[in-house]
Amino acid sequence: MYYFIVNPNAGCGKGGRLWRAVAIYLEKHQVEYEAYLTAGRGDARNIARELTDGNREPQVIVAVGGDGTMNEVLDGLVFCGPLTLGYIPAGSGNDLARSLKLPGNPVKALKRLLTPRHYRMLDYGILTYGTQEVSHRRFLVSAGIGFDAAVCHDLLESKLRQRLRRVGLGRLSYLISGIRQLFKCKPCKGYIILDGVKKVEFNHIAFISCHIQPFEGGGFKLAPRANCSDGKLSVCVVSHAARRKLVPILLESLTGNHGRRKGVRTYECGELFIHTERGLPVHADGESCGIQSDLQLGCIARKIRIVG
Ligand SMILES: Nc1ncnc2c1ncn2[C@@H]1O[C@H](COP(=O)(O)OP(=O)(O)OP(=O)(O)O)[C@@H](O)[C@H]1O
């Protein structure tokens, strides 16, 4: 049975438009399905949980939306029976689709789901944060602290982004927000502990980005070596005294060539602890996880089956 979880507002209404094309195809080909439309934040997570909790029969759960919708679906899944995850990208950033080279055309993506030729087993990450109350959040693309998360927080609240998305310039909002946050960015001291043993200290952390997939932020290839099925997190730490040096680093990250720049360090690990001297914004797949100074991240190997 196919279950579609649709964010009609993703990509400023693209989710709704693509869904109509998908629904027409499903009706025409008499495919048995159920569809659930989200009305706001957290809905996709709740729907995914209700659909999977206690269900032992084979299910195909398809998210129609952006990376945020897919993140909520992943975060809500309860692994009881054989489960396949599908994705029809309809966001403005679409880093998951870009990383996995999924078809942009919704009907093409749907056909691939209905007649799968092969499957892939994907890793996902778990972010643990919070002092009084500990929270966990799964992620499929990346999670991070500092500048990149500040951009995500800014975008989630930005009215300009809504306007730009309406005229099909959603990706431009990433650039504008990036420049705005660059001026606000205040690097701070901190350290990371890799796999519980290797401690590395930094004096000017601008951001730390932990990846399952290579891309984030609408096309920045911050972790070019990330392999989504190796059970490891690919970590990029940017720590530089001069804030303006972030610009060439970010520009080079568009092609994944930033690794050789001064101030950039990359690591691979199964588990990562991050401590920053000051609380900094945190995100998981572009969704806000508040302001934190201590984070624990882990990688769950090859748990998500998707149509490849
Ligand atoms: N009906 C809805 N109206 C408004 N927001 C919604 C609705 N349903 C879900 N959301 C929220 O919208 C947010 C963004 O969704 P999503 O990431 O899928 O789209 P996007 O931001 O357009 O895409 P991308 O992240 O690829 O740029 C998520 O935080 C989600 O919780």
Give the per-residue pLDDT at 156.
84
- Decide whether any atom of ligand 1 lies within 6 Å of the 10 Cβ: yes
- CA of residue 160 to ligand 1 center, whole Å: 16
Q: Is 91 in the pocket of ligand 1 (CB under 6 A)?
A: yes
Ligand 1, pocket-test mutation among 6, 9, 36, most atoms within 8 A of CB: 9
Q: What pLDDT score was predicted for residue 166? A: 73
Model pLDDT, residue 155: 85
Residue nearest to atom 6 of ligand 1 (CA): 40
Q: 191 to each of 200, 250, 261, 271, 278, how far by Cα in Å? A: 6, 22, 20, 14, 12
Whether ligand 1 lies within 6 angstroms of the CB of 43 is answered as yes
pLDDT tens-digit map of 58-80: 999 999 999 999 999 999 999 99
- Predicted complex ipTM: 0.94
- The finding on whether 39 has its CB within 6 A of some atom of ligand 1 is yes
Low-confidence ranges of the chain (pLDDT < 50): none
Alpha-carbon distances of 195 from 150, 234, 305, rounded to whole Å: 26, 12, 26
CA distance 86 to 307: 7
Residue pair 289/146 in contact by the 8 Å Cβ criterion: no
33, 27 Cβ separation under 8 angstroms: no
Question: What number does the ligand 1 atom closest to the CA of 14 have?
Answer: 22
Q: How far is it, in rounded angstroms, from Cα 146 to Cα 250?
A: 14
User: Which residue's CA is minimally distant from atom 14 of ligand 1?
Assistant: 68
Q: How far is the CA of 193 from the centre of ligand 1 (A)?
A: 33
Which domains are present in the chain? 2-117 (3.40.50.10330), 125-303 (2.60.200.40)
Distance 176 CA to ligand 1 centre (A): 19
